[in-house]
Structure 1
Amino acid sequence: MESPNVKHISECFIQPHNASKESKKRFYLTPTDLAMLSEHYIQKGLLFTKPPKANNPNFLDTLLAKLKYSLSLALVHFYPLAGRLVTKKEQDPHLYLVYVDCSNSPGAKFIHASLDMSISDILSPTDVPLVVQSLFDHDRAVNHDGHTTSLLTAQVTELVDGVFIGLSMNHCLGDGTSYWNFFNTWSAIFQAQENNVTLSKISNPPVLDRWFPEGHGPIISLPFTDPSEFIDRVEAPKLRERMFHFSAESLAKLKAMANSENETSNISTFQALSALLWRTITRARLLPPDQETSCRLAANNRARLDPPLPPNYFGNAIYPVKSELINAGELLDHGLGWAAWKLHQAVVNLNDQVLKRYLDYWLKSPTVFTMRYFDPFSVMMGSSPRFDMYKNEFGMGKAVALRSGYANKFSGKVSSFQGREAGSIDLEVCLLPEVMRALESDDEFMEAASVPSHE
């Protein structure tokens, strides 16, 4: 039986509630922003249970009005998200400049949709149902599409017994830190509105000043003449996508085991968890013993630069920390702690010098990343359980679950999310079907993991 389709009921555009002089200026993109032009939007969303007041026939209209108004107030602080990308070209001297025009745009998009399914239809199946991809705008869009489509869309989909709020944001404008700061700010403004309080200031105002390596910017000319030279629309293979839950107790055991094997206390919970995924996915893939593999972790660089960037710097300040290449046989011959120590060393070695060297190399030969950059024998740990995802409430209590869209997925991509209960982590694992089957019967993995509870 085919699942019902998401039906779009209405859409409109939301402008910042008021515009400052600053918001009329160009918002320039930095090297780490420009490198994202061929990647997908960030798509994450929260699923809420309809509260008792949802029986009121005006419930949804009232909710939508409050969401739109609080969104317009949030956009005052994050005004580039209401803009559009623009490319300025010149032949002599060569110029290919991509920036955000904050003043000539209809604004951020707001979609009201419906889906004739229940919360359990979304959360009960073993694999994440495909219909979840339709709970987001910008399906399969790459960031360069922000020239003609919104840089931010909020899609509010009414289910039979729930509401899903899916937010898609152009990845050229910011990373996960920037994305969740926006989501948290929107929620805080909404909650203040619910309590009839006017927020005179927000708790984590974004720092919109652009950061460029010394001697560069704000104009970075790309070595292209046409988008076809760097846009690569890669379709993911058929994947299985599953959520796995790791309780605080299970994570504590993994961390203790990894540290004990190394007679240290320096390995973090996340490094131990990433080592578990690296080892067990490598085993599930049945790689030849001499096949090289690595594990990458998406690292926030704000504090690693010297001088450091502000914690609320709005933009892309991430770098995929990569372990050394290791033969699959060697990885599996050693224990969890050995793999975790390799990841720990890679994280410790990522410093200002390494980042500046990478940026210097990029500026000499600018490139745009695509999905083809990811090694099919490796594992990529994306997102972060440090982001406060369940803090986002919109008058319906705490969300029951978090889900993501089609964007930025490939075999071996693992996204880590804050778990619903304190100290826990949920992992969204994307693998080829036969590899997922093997992982599901891997004792080492399944002893640590469980199915998320949505009570």
Structure 2
Amino acid sequence: MSSVSVKHVSACYIKPKYEVQEAKQPCYLAPMDLMMLNFHYIQKGLLFTKPSHKNDQEFSISKLLQSLKESLSLALVHFYPLAGQLATRISENRHECLIFVDCNKGPGARFIYATLDMSVSEILSPVDVPLVVQSLFDHDRAINHDGHRRPLLSVQVTELKDGVFIGCSMNHVVGDGTSYWQFWKIWSEIHRANGKQLVVSRLPNHKRWFPDGHGPAIPLPFTHPNEFVSRYEVGQLRERFFHFSRDSIARLKAKANKESNTNNISSFQSLSALVWRSIVRANCISEDRITNCTLATNNRHRLNPPLPPEYVGNCVTPTITTTTAGALLAHNLGWVASLLHQSVVNHSDKIVHKIIDGWLQSPFVYRPGKMFDPYSVTMGSSPRFDMYGNEFGFGKAVAVRSGYANKYVGKVTAYPGYEGGGSVDLEICLPPKSMSALESDEEFMAAATV
């Protein structure tokens, strides 16, 4: 199986179906966008099984590709910045640069057709996510700053023996996970309409948020990419999915609230507490070592006034909870969950403004390679994203998978469970030795299904 590789068959570029007047103006980036220039593209994809024969008509990949291209072209009318590229204006005198989206720059969104001589079961049945899954996405290891010369959106449709994988790579400067899955939703709705008149119920909002008195054009204090661009590679990691049923999560939540003598701790906070404790234990961290649990926190509803859910852009900042490894493991699940809960409660409009105001006084770009340590846990994505609601003529996807992007020791990516109902799938990245220890962790495995 290791010798089997993805073969690219064809590639083209897709532009918005109709001219968009707003696309003639620069799309300026907000502080939470500009911070992300060194992160990787967002890479998520849906795995479908090929439909069974209907009325003796065989599945046609050519018809599927054509319908996907047509619906993507219509979706880009609503998400027109994704058809452009990044651009930079430099002011040598002021030693600054202005990075923005030029919606008319470049050939459009990239669309790739590829093949892979493997079955759906060969993708899903191994204990660890097969390495070949990384090849189901374009923009491998690309960082967002590369959007100056690469498309901001690339779709790769890979035909398997008995299935189809649709992988989407989107520049993380243009939007966060909420924006990303909103794009998927609109594309899916348009595709299902199959050319019929469709009124998109929740149109994207491309008006970027800036604190009062700032924007829309915010320069960075650099004149050359070498001053702020950085890349990172990770060592050997095992990537594995663990499933948590609705009942299992309900038990965790009840346990955490009982031990904390409260009823305010959420399901996800309880699950995150379990994962944090278990990974720290698996990594055999010394008791005096500082460890963090970082939650990617959506700020749309936290701002005052709040932003609409349809806001396109990055509106996420990290909520960081800190303790020592010794304290983390000496206390029970409820104590850890209550720490996480308090951090989330404290993450208010005031805190978000404090973060952004500090950035405006001294703008910077995150350097992911220096941010992450092997003693901590980062919870990314969200089980609230309606990933399985996106269909393209095959019925419901059988699985969600991700690429190489934005992974490192202790990275945990959350997905809704396939069966829904509040179930959750977690994709955990750990060194081989630590993953083996996690697989033997009694507290963790008592809650997980493998």
Q: TM-score range by the shorter chain?
A: over 0.9
Aligned pairs for 1:196-207 within 5 A: 197-199=196-198, 201-207=199-205
Distance 2:85 2:105 in 1: 8
Q: Which residue is equivalent to 2:220? A: 222
Tell me the amino acid that sits aligned with residue 25 of structure 1.
Q
Q: Could you tell me how far 1:315 is from its partner in structure 2?
A: 0.1
Distance 2:299 2:219 in 1: 24
Q: Does residue 167 in structure 1 map to residue 162 in structure 2?
A: no
Work out the percentage of aligned pairs sharing the same amino acid.
60
Q: Which residue is equivalent to 1:331? A: 328
Q: Could you tell me how far 1:103 is from its partner in structure 2?
A: 1.6
Distance 1:265 1:57 in 2: 54
Q: Which residue is equivalent to 1:245? A: 243
Q: Does residue 70 in structure 1 map to residue 71 in structure 2?
A: yes
Q: Is the 8 A contact 1:280 1:442 kept in 2?
A: yes
Distance 1:56 1:235 in 2: 46
Q: Could you tell me how far 1:365 is from its partner in structure 2?
A: 1.1
Distance 2:162 2:309 in 1: 38
**TM-score, with normalisation over the residues of structure 1?**
0.97
Distance 2:324 2:110 in 1: 47
Q: Does residue 345 in structure 1 map to residue 346 in structure 2?
A: no
The residue matched to 1:261 in structure 2 has which SS? Answer: helix
Q: Could you tell me how far 1:151 is from its partner in structure 2?
A: 0.2
The residue matched to 1:180 in structure 2 has which SS? Answer: helix
Q: Could you tell me how far 1:56 is from its partner in structure 2?
A: 4.5
The residue matched to 1:390 in structure 2 has which SS? Answer: helix
Q: Could you tell me how far 1:39 is from its partner in structure 2?
A: 0.4
Q: Could you tell me how far 1:197 is from its partner in structure 2?
A: 2.6
Distance 2:159 2:337 in 1: 42
The residue matched to 2:81 in structure 1 has which SS? Answer: helix
Q: Which residue is equivalent to 1:444? A: 443
Aligned pairs for 1:116-155 within 5 A: 116-155=117-156
Q: Is the 8 A contact 2:38 2:144 kept in 1?
A: yes
Tell me the amino acid that sits aligned with residue 11 of structure 1.
A
Deviation per residue, 1:57-79 (Å, 9 max, x gap) = 66100000000000000000010
Q: Which residue is equivalent to 2:44? A: 44
The residue matched to 2:388 in structure 1 has which SS? Answer: coil
**TM-score, with normalisation over the residues of structure 2?**
0.98
Distance 1:233 1:85 in 2: 18
The residue matched to 2:206 in structure 1 has which SS? Answer: coil
The residue matched to 1:294 in structure 2 has which SS? Answer: strand
Q: Which residue is equivalent to 1:60? A: 61
Q: Does residue 3 in structure 1 map to residue 12 in structure 2?
A: no
Q: Could you tell me how far 1:92 is from its partner in structure 2?
A: 1.9
Q: Is the 8 A contact 1:53 1:59 kept in 2?
A: no
Deviation per residue, 1:415-451 (Å, 9 max, x gap) = 0001111221000000011110100000000000012
Q: Is the 8 A contact 1:115 1:157 kept in 2?
A: yes
Distance 1:416 1:131 in 2: 21
Distance 1:403 1:92 in 2: 46
Q: Which residue is equivalent to 2:355? A: 358
Q: Which residue is equivalent to 2:313? A: 315
Tell me the amino acid that sits aligned with residue 427 of structure 1.
L
Q: Could you tell me how far 1:263 is from its partner in structure 2?
A: 1.6
Which segment drifts farther, 424-433 or 361-370? 361-370
Q: Does residue 260 in structure 1 map to residue 258 in structure 2?
A: yes
Q: Which residue is equivalent to 2:366? A: 369
Tell me the amino acid that sits aligned with residue 344 of structure 2.
V
Q: Which residue is equivalent to 2:384? A: 386
The residue matched to 2:169 in structure 1 has which SS? Answer: strand
Gaps of 5+ in 1: none
Tell me the amino acid that sits aligned with residue 274 of structure 2.
L
Deviation per residue, 1:330-385 (Å, 9 max, x gap) = 11111111000000000000011111111111111111112221232110000000
Distance 1:57 1:252 in 2: 44
Distance 2:425 2:20 in 1: 40
Deviation per residue, 1:215-249 (Å, 9 max, x gap) = 11111111111111111110011100000000001
Gaps of 5+ in 2: none
Q: Which residue is equivalent to 1:421? A: 419
Distance 1:396 1:261 in 2: 45
Aligned pairs for 1:80-99 within 5 A: 80-99=81-100
Tell me the amino acid that sits aligned with residue 443 of structure 2.
E
Distance 2:208 2:162 in 1: 43
The residue matched to 1:315 in structure 2 has which SS? Answer: coil
Deviation per residue, 1:59-118 (Å, 9 max, x gap) = 100000000000000000010000000011121233300000012321101000000000
Which segment drifts farther, 99-108 or 38-47? 99-108
Distance 1:3 1:245 in 2: 29
Distance 1:434 1:102 in 2: 46
Distance 1:370 1:3 in 2: 34
Deviation per residue, 1:103-150 (Å, 9 max, x gap) = 232110100000000011110000000000000000000000001010
The residue matched to 1:185 in structure 2 has which SS? Answer: helix
Instruction: Count how many residue pairs are aligned between Structure 1 and Structure 2.
Output: 447
Q: Does residue 396 in structure 1 map to residue 418 in structure 2?
A: no
Runs of 4+ with deviation above 3 angstroms: 53-58
Tell me the amino acid that sits aligned with residue 433 of structure 2.
E
Tell me the amino acid that sits aligned with residue 169 of structure 2.
S
Q: Is the 8 A contact 2:20 2:80 kept in 1?
A: no
Distance 2:135 2:201 in 1: 32
Q: Does residue 24 in structure 1 map to residue 24 in structure 2?
A: yes
Q: Is the 8 A contact 1:3 1:131 kept in 2?
A: no
Distance 2:397 2:96 in 1: 46
Distance 1:233 1:266 in 2: 40
